[in-house]
Amino acid sequence: MQKVNVPGSLTAEDRDRMAQVGIDLAMTSRCGSYLQLNQDVAHATCSESGIEVMSIADALERYPELEKNYWKVVSRDKDDMTKHVAAQKEPRGYVIIGRKGSKNILPIQACLYLGKEQIQSVHNIIIAEEDAELHIVSGCASARHVGKGGAHYGISEFYVGKNAKISFTMIHTWGEEIEVYPRSAALLEEGATFLSNYVCMQPVKKVQMYPTATLAGERSVARFSSVVIASPGSSMDLGSRAILAAKGASAELITRAITRGGTIISRGEIQGKVDGTRGHLECKGLILKDGLIHAIPEIHGEVVGTELSHEAAVGKIAQEEIEYLMARGLSEEEATATIIRGFLDVKIQGLPDALQQQIDAAIDTAESGY
């Protein structure tokens, strides 16, 4: 396996931060990589046959037909962030294409690393053609020293073809002064599956996103899972939306949110546009100390035969649960941490082991200091 071409400027700390968000520079369990430092593309390769990983600039030049996927599910003038990215003279970001029937078992990794106080702008396009299966881990991080003025604007457009599958696991480790605005949308064809996972256990000044999946094909499936902890000073406004627009389409939106002093707004919306569709939205929140959790689950049914439900709960850890574990010999702190780890444990069906392990490891980084 070809190792990631790492610029000499990368420090040990940078490598640590990257490892925390699932980036394996030695490529022991990855089949492809994209590495972007600030606005510089450092690396883009993939060894799996039928799967291409390239920078968006290269891709647009090599494949003129990509124009039909460029600024299509996310519009250029959606907001200030999309406008900013659209105004870049040289687009940055990556394109991953899984050609018809291709499949990767070892995930592809995309690392977007911010090393200075600037706006990192990224535009990604991920396409799984008919019967293709793509598993991607997107690790976004910043160097510890990056302060005020550091920001990340990321556009991601997903196209999941007939009977194709994309799993996209995004892990964030930013800093206390950094603002992050992902802008993502997915279009699903017949029988397509889209799994979107988000993990953020570390402080960030602000994250705001509301990815949307349009399930335009019959029997398509979308599943969004978010696991987040908001530290003091962090503000997270997170949502996900599924538009069920074809018969048999189904969606599940799951959030586990913990605040230990920060603010979390957990939004979610499922629209049932045609009959024979199902959707469920679930947000569970724990307030450990101070902080705020505001859950806004919305379900919107337009026809007979769409089944939508939501469940939202915000609370604290029950003393009874803590003492139950203490009766088995765990200290109060150990019991609390064990319960919280369980609370955050979202097992995602259809995810390769390597990615589930990565999610588990990312969640484990927050295990101390509740």
Partner 1 sequence: MLDVKDLHVEVGGKKILHDINLQIGEGETHVLMGPNGSGKSTLLMTIMGFSGFTVTQGSIRFKGKDVTGLPVNERAKMGMGIMFQRPPTISGLKLGKLLTAASGETKEEIETYAKAVNMERFLERDINKGFSGGEIKRSEILQLSVQHPDFVMLDEPESGVDLENISLIGTTIGKLLDKDKHIVHRKKSGLIITHTGFILDYIDTNQGHMMCDGMIKCHGAAREMLKEIRERGYKECMECRK
Strand, helix or coil for residue 229: strand
Q: How far apart are CA 332 and CA 143, in angstroms?
A: 34
Q: How many residues bind partner 1 (CB under 8 A)?
A: 25
One residue of 63, 71, 343, 370 binding partner 1 per CB under 8 A: 343
Q: What are phi and psi of 311, to 5 degrees?
A: -145, 125
Is 320 a binding residue for partner 1 by CB under 8 A? The answer is yes
Under rule CB under 8 A, residue 364 binds partner 1: no
Alpha carbons 166 and 219: distance in angstroms, whole number = 15
C-beta of 286: minimal distance to partner 1 in Å?
11
Interatomic CA distance for residues 180 and 236, integer angstroms: 10
Binds partner 1 (CB under 8 A): choice among 78, 99, 144, 341: 341
With beta carbons less than 8 A apart as the criterion, state whether 334 and 325 touch: yes
Q: For the CB of residue 294, give the shortest distance to partner 1 in the complex, in Å.
A: 21
Toward partner 1, which CB reaches closer, 329 or 369? Answer: 329
* Neighbour-count burial of 283, counting CB atoms closer than 10 A to its CB (0-12 exposed, 13-18 middle, 19+ buried): buried
Q: Enumerate helices (H) and strands (E) in the chain, giving the number of each.
A: 6, 21
Q: Is 360 in the site for partner 1 (CB under 8 A)?
A: no
294 binds partner 1 (CB under 8 A): no
Handedness of CA 20, 26, 28, 29 (dihedral sign): positive
Determine if 316 is a binding residue for partner 1 (CB under 8 A). Answer: no
Interface with partner 1 includes 315 (CB under 8 A)? no
The residue written with tokens 């396009």 in the block is 125
Task: In angstroms, give the least distance from the CB of 340 to partner 1.
Answer: 9
Stretch that binds partner 1, among 74-82, 167-175, 198-206, 320-328 (CB under 8 A): 320-328
- Cα distance between residue 354 and residue 368, in whole Å: 23
Helix/strand/coil percent split, the chain, to 5: 15, 45, 40
Under rule CB under 8 A, residue 334 binds partner 1: yes
Say whether residue 144 binds partner 1 (CB under 8 A). Answer: no
Instruction: Give the C-alpha separation, 280 to 167, whole Å.
Output: 19
Q: Among 19, 265, 299, 325, indicate the residue that binds partner 1 (CB under 8 A).
A: 325
- Is 349 a binding residue for partner 1 by CB under 8 A? The answer is no
Q: Cβ neighbours of residue 315 under 8 Å, at least 6 residues apart?
A: 285, 286, 287
* 103 binding partner 1? (CB under 8 A): no
User: Residues 67, 290, 345, 367: which binds partner 1 (CB under 8 A)?
Assistant: 345
Location of structure tokens 């999610």? 359
Binding mask 274-293 for partner 1 (x = CB under 8 A): ----------x---------
Binding range to partner 1, per CB under 8 A, among 75-83, 167-175, 267-275, 340-348: 340-348
Query: If binding is defined by CB under 8 A, does position 342 make contact with partner 1?
Result: yes
CB of 344 to partner 1, least distance (A): 7
Position 117 contacts partner 1 (CB under 8 A): no
Q: Which of 16, 80, 332, 364 binds partner 1 (CB under 8 A)?
A: 332
Query: Minimum CB separation from partner 1 for residue 82, in Å?
Result: 36
| Contact between residue 218 and residue 189 where contact means Cβ atoms under 8 Å apart | no
* Residue at 307: amino acid letter: E
CA distances from 146 to 115, 117, 172, 173, 178 (A): 6, 6, 15, 12, 8
Q: State the nearest-atom distance from the C-beta of 167 to partner 1, in Å.
A: 21
Encoded tokens for 64: 């003129």
Q: Between residues 113 and 224, which has the closer beta carbon with respect to partner 1?
A: 224
On whether the CB atoms of residues 56 and 93 are closer than 8 A, the answer is yes
Beta carbon of residue 170, minimum distance to partner 1 (angstroms, whole number): 21
Q: Does 295 bind partner 1 (CB under 8 A)?
A: no
Q: Which residues are at the interface with partner 1 (CB under 8 A)?
A: 284, 318-321, 323-332, 334-335, 338-339, 341-346
